[in-house]
Amino acid sequence: MIQELYEKGARKFGFLSLSPLGCLPALRAANPKGNEEGGCFEEACALALAHNNALKAVLTSLEHLFKGFKYCNSNFYVWLEDRINNPSKYGFKEGMNACCGTGPFRGLFTCGGTKKVTDYQLCDNAYDYVWWDSFHPTERIHEQFAKALWDGPLDFVGPYNLQQLFFFNKLTKVFDLVDDLNRILVDLLTHN
């Protein structure tokens, strides 16, 4: 698919890596070792990491194969894992349990009572939660993630964030201008 888009003229791409899938409330609830290992379903997390590592390797290869190929790739795994494990650091109160659901971690997909299990609990304020339901992050997480993709640091998105990817030529011109001004200043100072 990427090659096909490239052949049609696409040069800039954005990619989202997988989250720590085993830490979704649904998979925590299904994890037979949940209480022993902190709750995350490690096998699912390992699959997500394997996928993310393979994606990173493929993107690095494509960067060398396709002239002008530029991309933004998120490290969503580490980014979300940090919010799950340290919710208060990012303004959340709850990182493991879902706002809406039932059972362990509110991880049974019952939000809204439309499934076989019609009983569910709903938190008072979704703004305080990382997870909306057993599978989906809250709107606030999506908002923070979008901001990080747009102008986040390169240890989270790289080799470009989306702002750099879309405005690369404009940023380059500004950097060139600053370099030119620095050269002029150095010339003035060394000749006086």
The predicted structure's pLDDT at residue 6 = 95
The predicted structure's pLDDT at residue 177 = 56
39: pLDDT confidence band, cut at 50, 70 and 90? confident
Judged on CB neighbours under 10 Å (0-12, 13-18, 19+), 9 is exposed
The predicted structure's pLDDT at residue 86 = 97
pLDDT of 48 higher than 70: yes
The predicted structure's pLDDT at residue 70 = 94
The predicted structure's pLDDT at residue 32 = 76
Helix residue ranges, H only, the chain: 2-7, 25-30, 42-65, 76-85, 139-151, 162-166, 168-191
The predicted structure's pLDDT at residue 38 = 57
Parent domain of 97: 2-191
To the nearest whole number, what is the mean pLDDT of the chain?
88
Q: Which residue has better confidence, 17 or 185?
A: 17
35: pLDDT confidence band, cut at 50, 70 and 90? low
The predicted structure's pLDDT at residue 37 = 54
Of 9-23, 62-76, 81-95, 155-169, the range with the lowest mean pLDDT is 155-169
- How many independent structural domains does the chain possess? 1
User: What is the token pair recorded at 162?
Assistant: 């989306």
Angstrom CA distances, 115 to 30, 101, 109, 112, 119, stand at 17, 11, 7, 8, 9
- How does pLDDT run across 164-186, given as a tens digit for each residue? 998 876 555 455 556 656 667 66
- How does pLDDT run across 123-167, given as a tens digit for each residue? 999 999 999 999 999 999 999 999 999 999 988 998 999 999 988
